[in-house]
Structure formats: C-alpha cells, structure tokens
Amino acid sequence: MQLEPHKRRILIVDDEAELCHYLKLLISRKTPYEVESVTEPLKALELFKQTPFNLVISDITMPRMDGITLVKALQTISPDVEVVMLTGASSFQSAVDALQFRAYDYIEKPVNSDRLLTVIGNALAKQALAEELGKMVEKVATLNKELKRRVRDQLATSLPMERLASAAVTLDAVERAVVPHLESLARAAQTTLSAVALRPQAAAEALDVVNQIPVTTLKIKELLQDLRAQTRRRPVLKRSDLVAFLRARAEEFASVFPLVKLQLKLPAAPVETGFDGAQLGQAIANLLENAVEAMSGRGTIAFTASTDGDHVAIVIVDDGPGFGPEMLPRLFIPFCTTKGETSTGLGLATARRIIHDHKGSIQIANGPAGGAVVTIHLPKR
C-alpha cells in the first residue's frame, strides 16, 4: 500500500452521520488526501477489503462491531494501515487500550480540528517514511545478494586461490564504488529515524526497519574485506601491546552487539609482540561475528588470552549449537557455509589465512558442554 502523498486515502468510520460528514468535509478541504466515510463498521470492513486505505479514523463505541475489533480486522488485511481512534469520555480507557493494537493515536470528542489534522499528517508522514526505508532495505539487500552471487561465481569457477591476486584491481574499484554509497545509506537511515520519531510509538515501530540497513551494509563491507584478504599483501608486523589491542577489539565488538554478553579475560601485564593490527583485527572480528551468528544474535561469548612460553593463546568460546561432525573438517574451505545466503562462506577462511600469515595456528572444535571453541596460537616476537 505505497501511494504518492496526494493519492493517500483516508476512511472515516463513525455511527454519527453528521460527524462523518463534518470530518470528511474538513479533511477534504484541508488536505490533499482522498476521503471516504461510512457509518457502519461492517460496511467499512467490506470497503477496505475492496480498496485498502492508508489511514482509518474510527469511533470506538459503535453498534454491531466496536472500534477495537474493527482495528484488528483491518490490520489483518493490511498490517501497515494507520489508525486513529475517536473516543468520548466514557470510552477513554478503551482508546488507551487501542494503542496496544498499534492504533497510532486517539482524539477525544468533541473533535478539535487542528489536533485531528496534525495527527493525520504525522501518521501519514510516519507511514511514508517507513515505506521509503523499506525500499532502501530492499535495494541494499538486492545489491548484497547480487554482489555475493557475482563474486562467488567468478572466484569459485574461474579464479583459483593462487590467481586471486589478479582480482585485486577489480576489487578495489568495487569497494570504492559500493562502500561510500552503503555508508551514506546507513547515515540516512539514522537521520530518518530521528525525523520519523514524531511520537515514541512511531520511533519504536520504525526502529526495526531502520536497523536492517546498517546490518545489511555491514555484511557487504565484510564481504569486500574478506575478499580483499584473499588478495592482500603479507602482513606488516609492528611491535605493540597485544593485550591492549585485544581489549580495544572487544570493546568495539560489545558496542555493536549489545545483546551478547562478552566475558573478557586478558593478561594483566602488557604483551609486546609483532602483528599487523588491521589484518589481525579483521580475523578476530570474523571469529566473534561468526559466534554471534551461531547464537542467533544473543548469548554469551568467552574471549580470553594467555601467554605460554613463546606463544600467546587466544580462545573464543560461544554457547551456540556448535558444528555438526560433517562440517568440522570443512570450516576453513572458502565459500563453505551452513548459513545459506546470509553468509559469504569466507569469514573463517579469511581468519585462518591471516593467522597462518602471522606464523600462527587456529583450530575449531565443539566444546564439551556445547558451543564452538576457537583456539589461536600466535608466536611472540
């Protein structure tokens, strides 16, 4: 039900014929919207089934069918319909109850025309913004899917690993063209959320739509980063405090995934060693995000590090379902995934390559109590 502003349609339902006529005349004169009115809830339901409306203004107390029952029926037909309830003093509590069923707002009788017009404008503005956000999400999701398909087809069929370096220039061009646009979309989504927050309820309803855009853009950026890791130079090792580095990565992770409880245990003293911060950070991020996906976005991850002679051990344990025995030997194979279209199948392969380039080792196993256990050993140098 995505219409241009001047084509948006409003249906008035009230058993008081004079009020219906007055409201229809008021809205028709003061707004560009198409307006219909009926005095019977059942007739309103029949009319809505034939030609859905963007906004319904309904009385609560009516014969044969009350307004709340009508709202539920209309939302079954068109979940994104906006509803404004009309209420007298005796049905005030019913109007408040109606808000629990996604009614946008309520207007007390006698109707204040200015307030009614303001509420109508706000409700339809919120609806229009939500529709635009939905379109943005669809476009980004389509781009994500198409990009993954093209890269998967080209690399899996025509570019063996030893020839991936020849794809670096193309990958650079793709990244320069795509990433800024995706970041712009993410910023626009957050700006739109502020604009759509005309009421607390409006912001809450729009939040789910808005949050899909940054998540989708992050997935595309991760795909490009993982592909770049397959073509990237050897790591440039710089001596630095690995403990401080891991703590910073953990803090970044916690800020992005607030529903995940991160149990962090690191050495108290600094551990000076040589590593490539950008590449090792990508490997750690891939492993942590893989754990989040395994736990469906929420759960507990234990992230620990310790020193053992001339090596540093990093262990990541999640409380997800772990891996089936048939998957364990294949986890590090590029494009191998159990998540279908939601995963590139490059995250673990990229992490292993980075760890090996640091002259380290990585193993993944199932924990004794369930979940996955990732163990990394890096040399101190």
pLDDT for 319: 93
Residue identified by tokens 């772990």 is 322
Report the distance separating Cα 206 and Cα 124, nearest Å: 13
pLDDT for 370: 86
203 & 244 share domain: no
Segments forming the whole domain that contains residue 284: 238-379
218 & 157 share domain: yes
Residue identified by tokens 């196993």 is 365
Q: Which of the 8 DSSP states describes residue 50?
A: H
Extended beta strands in 211-360, E state: 238-241, 260-265, 272-275, 299-308, 311-318
207 & 261 share domain: no
pLDDT for 122: 87
246 & 369 share domain: yes
pLDDT for 182: 58
135 & 83 share domain: no
Structural domain count of the chain:
3
181 & 279 share domain: no
157 & 74 share domain: no
259 & 348 share domain: yes
pLDDT for 284: 94
Residue 364 and residue 372 in contact, taking contact as beta carbons nearer than 8 Å: yes
303 & 319 share domain: yes
Residue 87 and residue 65 in contact, taking contact as beta carbons nearer than 8 Å: no
Instruction: With both helix axes pointing from N to C terminus, report the angle between 113-158 and 200-231 in degrees, rounded to the nearest 10.
Output: 10
Q: How confident is the prediction along the chain (381 residues), in pLDDT tens digits per residue? A: 444 545 789 999 999 999 999 999 999 999 999 999 999 999 999 999 998 899 999 998 888 888 889 988 988 898 889 999 888 765 556 656 666 667 888 888 899 999 999 999 888 888 887 777 777 767 776 766 666 666 555 555 544 544 444 444 445 545 554 555 555 555 555 555 555 544 445 455 555 555 555 555 665 666 566 555 555 567 889 999 999 999 999 999 888 888 899 999 999 999 999 999 989 998 999 899 889 988 988 899 999 999 988 999 999 999 999 888 888 878 877 666 655 544 556 778 888 989 999 999 999 999 998 899 999 999 987
Among candidates 299, 286, 294, which has minimal Cα distance to 362? 286
293 & 314 share domain: yes
pLDDT for 197: 46
368 & 244 share domain: yes
Say if 1 falls within a structural domain: no
State the Cα angle at 96 between 94 and 101, rounded to 5°. Answer: 90
69 & 13 share domain: yes
Say if 117 falls within a structural domain: no
Instruction: With both helix axes pointing from N to C terminus, report the angle between 67-77 and 41-50 in degrees, rounded to the nearest 10.
Output: 10
